[in-house]
């Protein structure tokens, strides 16, 4: 595996950054997880746009312009012979002092890892996930906007740990008001009486790339979609529930807090969304070859 760090490529064993990098010391940085299918990088431009938006919100100057970052991402995939894979693109504040101030970091660090990922075992896509509500609340927009995809994911990780303690494969995270925000790293959709519902971004959910794709697929299918506040009750009584994310793609949920969703099996609309999403990922994207 060849890993890109600030314009150079290193073998995995030799790919190193300073222990004084503020991405390591303080989680000061941003990242994107991107998927490649059939020698194409899916929604690359959308991911890069979100990366630069996140960096701007943190007043983090990315040392590459967008066109050069795009070229470097494609090149990293090419050098690693990626056909179907996963790209982790990171921009850290860079090497600095032990103090919090970013002023001690003269230049940001760019890292591109092109490899493989399997977020969930394949059986969960056919049988569905068991989900629990996490006691930890999603970070409030007044603290750090969930729209910023930062390197500090402790909020989500705590939710993931709490789900595991409950014997669940995934969690639902609520915001401070008790409304559904998202999963530990995925957006959430609910089907009820032929209509699809999803929490709006401002309640504490990341503006997911896959979320946007699914919203478009729902429109193409003539499926009404409503962005609105959702409570745990709305999840419990849903006909179907599924999660979306770059790593997870589209994955069904069949149980939440011990309540079966629908008949306890992945529903027809969810399966249709999974098929439509997979078909799209194989047809679109920035060519690697």
Domain 2-115 coded CATH 3.30.470.10: yes
pLDDT score of 110: 98
Looking at residues 211-232, what average pLDDT do you find? 97
What percentage of residues in the chain have a pLDDT greater than 90? 93
Of the candidates 57, 161, 172, 47, the one whose C-alpha atom is nearest the C-alpha of residue 112 is: 47
| Residue 61 a catalytic site member | no
Of 43, 95, 149, 160, catalytic: 149
* Every domain range in the chain assigned CATH 3.20.10.10: 123-281
Asked if the model's pLDDT at residue 118 lies above 80, the reply is no
Q: What is the pLDDT of residue 278?
A: 97
Q: Provide CB contacts within 8 A for 72, sequence distance 6+.
A: 4, 7, 64, 110, 112
Instruction: pLDDT band for 205, please (50, 70, 90 cuts).
Output: confident
What fold characterizes domain 123-281? D-amino Acid Aminotransferase; Chain A, domain 2 (3.20.10)
Identify the DSSP state of 71: H
- pLDDT value at residue 30: 98
Where in the chain is CATH 3.30.470.10? 2-115
pLDDT at residue 90 greater than cutoff 90: yes
Confidence at 192, pLDDT banded by 50, 70, 90:
very high
| Euclidean distance between CA atoms 199 and 277, whole angstroms | 20
99 has pLDDT over 90: yes
Residue range 99-103: mean pLDDT, rounded: 96
For residue 120, pLDDT over 90 is answered with: no
Mean confidence (pLDDT) of the chain: 96
The pLDDT of 143-162, averaged and rounded, is 94
Q: Are strands 249-256 and 129-133 parallel, antiparallel or unpaired?
A: parallel
Label residue 61 by pLDDT band (50, 70, 90): very high
CA-nearest of 282, 116, 281 to 213 is 281
Residue 121: CB atoms within 10 Å: 10
> Taking Cα atoms as reference points, which of 226, 233, 256, 231 lies closest to residue 243?
256
- pLDDT value of residue 149: 96
* Distance of alpha carbon 24 from alpha carbon 95, whole angstroms: 9
**Ranges 86-90, 199-203, 258-262, 273-277: which has the least confidence:** 199-203
The enclosing H or E element of 195 equals strand 195-198
- 3-state SS string for the chain: CEEEECCEEEEHHHCCCCCCEHHHHHCCEEEEEEEEECCEECCHHHHHHHHHHHHHHCCCCCCCCHHHHHHHHHHHHHHCCCCCEEEEEEEECCECCCCCCHHHCCCCEEEEEEECCCCCCCHHHHHCEEEEECCCCCCCCCCCCCCCCECCCHHHHHHHHHHHHCCCCEEEEECCCCCEEECCCCEEEEEECCEEEECCHHHCCCCCHHHHHHHHHHHHCCCCEEECCCCHHHHHCCCEEEEEECCCEEEEEEEECCEECCCCCCCHHHHHHHHHHHHHHCCCCEECC
pLDDT (0 to 100) of residue 119: 74
Least confident of 81-85, 107-111, 171-175, 205-209: 205-209
């Amino acid at each position: 595996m060849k890993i890109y760090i600030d314009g150079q490529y290193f073998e995995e064993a030799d790919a190193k950054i300073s222990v004084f990098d503020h991405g390591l010391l303080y989680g000061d940085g941003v990242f994107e997880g991107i998927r490649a299918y059939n020698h194409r990088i899916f929604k690359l431009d959308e991911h890069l746009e979100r990366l630069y938006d996140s960096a701007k919100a943190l007043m983090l100057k990315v040392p590459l312009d967008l066109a050069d970052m795009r070229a470097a991402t494609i090149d990293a995939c090419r050098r690693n012979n990626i056909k179907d894979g996963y790209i982790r693109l990171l921009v850290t504040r860079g090497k600095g002092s032990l103090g919090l101030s970013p002023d001690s970091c003269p230049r940001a660090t760019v890292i591109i890892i092109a490899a493989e990922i399997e977020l969930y075992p394949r059986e969960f896509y056919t049988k569905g996930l068991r989900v629990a509500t996490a006691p930890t609340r999603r970070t409030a927009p007044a603290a750090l906007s969930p729209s910023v995809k930062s390197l500090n994911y402790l909020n989500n990780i705590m939710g993931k740990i709490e789900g595991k303690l409950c014997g669940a494969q995934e969690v639902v995270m609520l915001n401070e008001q008790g409304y559904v925000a998202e999963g530990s790293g995925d957006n959430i959709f609910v089907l009820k009486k032929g209509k699809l519902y999803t929490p709006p971004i401002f309640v504490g959910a990341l503006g997911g790339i896959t979320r946007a794709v699914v919203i478009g697929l729902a429109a193409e299918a003539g499926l009404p979609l409503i962005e609105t506040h959702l409570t745990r009750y709305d999840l419990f009584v849903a006909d179907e529930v599924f999660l979306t994310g770059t790593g997870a793609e589209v994955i069904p949920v069949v149980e939440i807090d011990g309540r079966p969703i629908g008949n306890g099996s992945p529903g027809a609309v969810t399966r249709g969304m999974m098929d439509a999403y997979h078909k799209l990922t194989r047809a679109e994207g920035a060519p690697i070859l």
